[in-house]
Structure 1
């Protein structure tokens, strides 16, 4: 007496008769097995999406990181997936974790952050080599996230800020150099045509007045002052007027000396 079994479209049936594997794999649809003699094991042939737990590691440039990934695989040989390995899902998961730690140790931090496509390919090859013997094919491996310490994040932020500032200064200096060259060319042209400088000055004044709508003080060109100074006739210089000699104050008349008291007494004695 046979028992009926149904195998779905995405499954394959592996029959063990008295513990021995039968060569034929049952395809999707209706199939018959012998009760108590045959044992039918169904294997899912769909692509399986398995997340790889985050792994801590130290990169080649001595940076501690935490990396997680996701792996896509499918069974290509249902018999090997049941016979060659006890649990192919667990085996693929463990192989993915060890391979991910190995990739972290062989890579630099910049590669983990910017060159993930190459790392994904290397990780896929490391997992696919042993998985072939299990009847499993690795379809794709993707690194999802790279977690960095806070100190490293701050250092990278400062580095990025310094790099942006450096590029901004280079661009600014390049612009100043180009502007100086153009100004030098304009100065050469204006030196040949002085009227062009005056027109440019008037245009600047008009533009500022239109924008600010305020009272402006118009500077008087120095070149025009020099031109008027050269064109003006030279006036004759007047001779200085003769100066009178300084007046000599008149001499004071000498006062008559009066006889002293003793002289008067002597004269009086002679008369006596």
Structure 2
């Protein structure tokens, strides 16, 4: 009864102050936005928009929700891999609001919550992988992270569309060790190539000598 009375009084104020009140009553949201209206603290059943919609200034408040895809960077996370190597990994996440009503009612800040969940998910998933898997299998790791994030953010009305691993930073000592190993491998391959060339030349010389000997014997 009290709610009805307050709403009725608000409508009367609008009528008596018309046409000045129309500026406060009519609102516009863009094609990519939706408006969630709270009337005396209770959310109305459906999101409004796009376009023009009507509110009662004294009793209604509304929240704009952007439905476009948003991206954010996951800051570099220090991660201990399964084979006990510490690496710093960062990523980028693409998401959008799939349910405007739920994203406003079920979570205080959907964007911030998604970012924090992305950080913990990145650490948890990469902690189960070896360094070799992280370096060579980024696509499947990104797909796994996207699936886990999408499930975790679904109660918030958020849909995670894509996750990409951006960079894997190795410790300086490990980088030097890998560089030394790569250099040693290149040198070994170079030595093998030189040996093969020398053997090939020797074989060719032997064949030429044999041919010359055969020709000399035939002529004699």
Among candidates 125, 147, 150, match of residue 103 of structure 1: 125
Unaligned runs of 5+ in 1: 196-226, 228-272
TM-score, reference length from structure 2? 0.81
Are 2:114 and 1:69 equivalent residues in the alignment? no
Structure label with greater radius of gyration: 1
Are 2:174 and 1:152 equivalent residues in the alignment? yes
Among candidates 149, 160, 169, match of residue 191 of structure 2: 169
Distance (whole Å) between structure 1 residues aligned to residue 41 and residue 216 of structure 2: 109
Q: CA deviation at 1:40?
A: 1.6
Distance (whole Å) between structure 2 residues aligned to residue 178 and residue 20 of structure 1: 87
Instruction: Identify if the C-alpha distance between structure 1 residues 165 and 13 changes in structure 2 by more than 3 Å, giving closer, same or farther.
Output: same
Q: CA deviation at 1:113?
A: 2.3
Are 2:31 and 1:31 equivalent residues in the alignment? no
Are 2:71 and 1:86 equivalent residues in the alignment? no
Residue correspondence of structure 1 range 1-272 to structure 2 within 5 A? 1=14, 3-194=25-216
Unaligned runs of 5+ in 2: 1-13, 15-21
Distance (whole Å) between structure 2 residues aligned to residue 27 and residue 194 of structure 1: 101
Q: Deviations 1:194-221 (Å, cap 9, x if unpaired)?
A: 49xxxxxxxxxxxxxxxxxxxxxxxxxx
Secondary structure at the counterpart of residue 124 of structure 2: helix
Instruction: Identify if the C-alpha distance between structure 1 residues 101 and 28 changes in structure 2 by more than 3 Å, giving closer, same or farther.
Output: same
Q: CA deviation at 1:104?
A: 2.4
Q: Deviations 1:195-252 (Å, cap 9, x if unpaired)?
A: 9xxxxxxxxxxxxxxxxxxxxxxxxxxxxxxx9xxxxxxxxxxxxxxxxxxxxxxxxx
| Alignment partner, residue 18 of structure 2 | none
| Alignment partner, residue 6 of structure 2 | none
Kindly report structure 1 stretches of 4+ aligned residues shifted beyond 6 Å: none
| Alignment partner, residue 9 of structure 2 | none
Q: CA deviation at 1:87?
A: 0.9
TM-score, reference length from structure 1? 0.67
